[in-house]
Amino acid sequence: MGNKLKKLIYFGLIVSLLTLVACSPSTDTDADEQTNSNDEQTSDTRVLTDAVGNEVEVPANPERVIASYLEDHLIALDITPVAQWSIQDGASVQDYLQDHLQNVDTIPSELPFEAVASFNPDLIILPSASSVEEGTYDQYAQIAPTYIVSEETNEDWRENLQRIAEVFGLEEQAEQVLSDYEAKASEASQLIEQAIGDQSAAAIWFVADTFYIVGDAVSSGAVLYQDLGIAVPAVVEEVSSAATGNWSPISLEKLAELDADHIFLINSSDSGEVFDDPIWSNIPAVAQGNVYEYAAETSWLYSGTIANEQIIEAVLANLTTE
């Protein structure tokens, strides 16, 4: 074979190979892979506006979350935080949640910056605007993206659950949680009405030798009166109209006017002398033996799906027993 012919064959092979490469579908595949890679990069975070107007770049899949005093909502959404709220150097926690948080480290309720940073969070969620003093939000935001759930401290727990669900892209799960809760409350309400009719009830907290009574639209009061439809005593209505918090102090003399048929007593005190006082003994619910005592470790002082479901179960157990 002549040299000229060999050169022609060699040239033809080169052209054919170049043509195959140019026409190969792998070029489109490579482009698609690059596009998918870019899409993944841009979907790693989402920008959300929190309750006070902060634009927060939230990770698409947060794995190390600190949401102190919001753990009830996280657990309802099947999310385990990296640290849980506590006081007294970790000695006191939200006991009613410990079946879900028993292996979770504690963090002081004040959320010191050093303590927060030590957990290397990828997301910080704060309950309300009052959770951060002037300038402190920026310091938290330097540690991790920081989202404030509500503007006011006592906003509705359902709204807070839905806002937290939005942060995690779990809106549908939150709707299911709320639907299940409403069904439970509705069924319980019917059973309670059958058991006690239009009788009333009140929740009282005794701590540090002081009585407190819950408002009619917050905490366990919202469960009793709104979710379960139990009648509101006049004293509760009166105190609620001037309340500035969930639980308002009330004197023993004022309690003597309490026209409740049933009392749920949350006792956080070792002192019991006050319960021997004739004023206490003459309160109608007390005189009739309709006082149901609970320890402070129970969920009566809290609010959220899990807390409220436990309260409903307690009320059912007390008011519907034969």
Q: pLDDT value at position 43? A: 67
pLDDT in tens, 67-106: 999 999 999 999 999 999 999 998 999 999 999 999 999 9
Give the residue from 84, 91, 90 showing the smallest Cα distance to 69.
84
Q: Which domains does the chain have, with CATH numbers?
A: 45-169 (3.40.50.1980), 188-319 (3.40.50.1980)
Residues in Cβ contact with 132 at an 8 Å cutoff, skipping those fewer than 6 apart: 126, 140, 148
Q: CA–CA distance from 79 to each of 64, 65, 149, 226 (Å)?
A: 10, 9, 16, 28
Q: Would you tell me the crossing angle of helices 171-196 and 305-319 to the nearest 10 degrees?
A: 20
Residue 18 has pLDDT above 60, yes or no: no
First to last CA, the chain: 110
d(CA 205, CA 144): 37
Strands 201-207 and 262-267, how do they pair? parallel
Average pLDDT, the chain: 88
pLDDT in tens, 96-105: 999 999 999 9
CB atoms within 10 A of CB 268: 15
Residue 270's pLDDT band, with cuts at 50, 70 and 90, is: confident
Q: Would you tell me the crossing angle of helices 157-168 and 305-319 to the nearest 10 degrees?
A: 140
pLDDT in tens, 43-65: 689 999 999 999 999 999 999 99
Structure tokens at 261: 């048929």
Please name the residue ranges forming H helices in the chain: 3-23, 26-42, 71-76, 98-101, 113-118, 136-143, 157-168, 171-196, 219-222, 234-241, 252-255, 278-281, 284-287, 305-319
Residue 169 has pLDDT above 80, yes or no: yes
pLDDT in tens, 109-152: 999 999 999 999 999 999 999 889 888 999 999 999 999 999 88
Residues in Cβ contact with 33 at an 8 Å cutoff, skipping those fewer than 6 apart: none
pLDDT in tens, 222-248: 999 999 999 999 999 999 999 989 999
Q: What is the pTM of this model?
A: 0.85
Q: CA–CA distance from 95 to each of 18, 84, 138, 171, 313 (Å)?
A: 71, 11, 31, 27, 17
